Structure 1
């Protein structure tokens, strides 16, 4: 019995002494202002841009945020004597070309179609091509054959102008 009491006391002493260990003081890392600037510039902040085409009767408005090659935003078509299309898009920017899925409401229903815009200077020009329906979405048949609508370029605007 005395042997068990010694083992129990030794075991309890070890546990209690290990619980009383004070945590080691870790040195704080100091970041210089130059390092902070580098870290901030490396972070992925979205690039925000807005584009608009406006004539006497027609308006197209595109607002987008871009992080790396990923792009998302809103797109609105308001053509004279046609139903207005308002929606959102998500896609990618490959060099100067935006490919996206545009989800929009028109005539009381929701539809999805691919859209394509090419950036020319401070303008976006929409491209049109032959489409087909795939899984309920209108998709381009060939992503290399487009007709550009140069008659309706969307000019870059200050996003506060909307």
Structure 2
């Protein structure tokens, strides 16, 4: 029996060594796998909100008055529909006085100018872009009637007569 106890003791010692060796190997490989795999980190990317500053159309007067020409727009209502009094008095041309009714969206004012010229009432589409507190009139290709833009989105805002915000003259 002594032999079998000794045999059992050897088996028991070998079993402990195998378990210990397996534990060491498992721990080693487990740690090694962690070192081989870079930890995935979640980087928090700050959200950047794009702030678009839309110009604000103010009530009051916008005027160009140089070289004998006068263009004056007095905005009396600045929420849509925008309402204004509009006068064109170009050097050596007839004066046009009338009213403007339109919409102001994304910095552009587009509407209808109803005016009197030589005793006749006429209407035509006009558009302005608000830039640096000035209204810059837009020009573009007109339709067959000559009173509306063919495509208001392709109007060119490069007028040499910008209307600057000014105090209204009573």
Aligned-pair distance for 1:146? 1.2
2-side partners of 1:138 and 1:103: how far apart?
11
Tell me whether 1:144 sits opposite 2:148 in the alignment.
no
C-alpha change, 1:67 and 1:83, in structure 2 (3 Å) is closer
Classify the secondary structure of the residue corresponding to 2:153: coil
Higher-Rg member (1/2): 2
Tell me whether 1:78 sits opposite 2:89 in the alignment.
yes
2-side partners of 1:126 and 1:61: how far apart?
12
Aligned-pair distance for 1:67? 4.5
Tell me whether 1:158 sits opposite 2:167 in the alignment.
yes
1-side partners of 2:99 and 2:118: how far apart?
16
Q: How does 1:47-58 map to 2 (within 5 A)?
A: 48-58=59-69
1-side partners of 2:71 and 2:83: how far apart?
16
Q: How does 1:3-152 map to 2 (within 5 A)?
A: 48-133=59-144, 138-152=147-161
RMSD, aligned α-carbons: 2.0
The runs of 5 or more residues in structure 2 that have no matched partner are: 1-57
Classify the secondary structure of the residue corresponding to 2:147: strand
C-alpha change, 1:107 and 1:149, in structure 2 (3 Å) is farther
1-side partners of 2:109 and 2:83: how far apart?
10
1-side partners of 2:144 and 2:77: how far apart?
28
The runs of 5 or more residues in structure 1 that have no matched partner are: 1-46
Q: More strand per residue: 1 or 2? A: 1
The runs of at least 4 aligned residues of structure 1 exceeding 4 Å deviation read: none
Aligned-pair distance for 1:108? 2.0
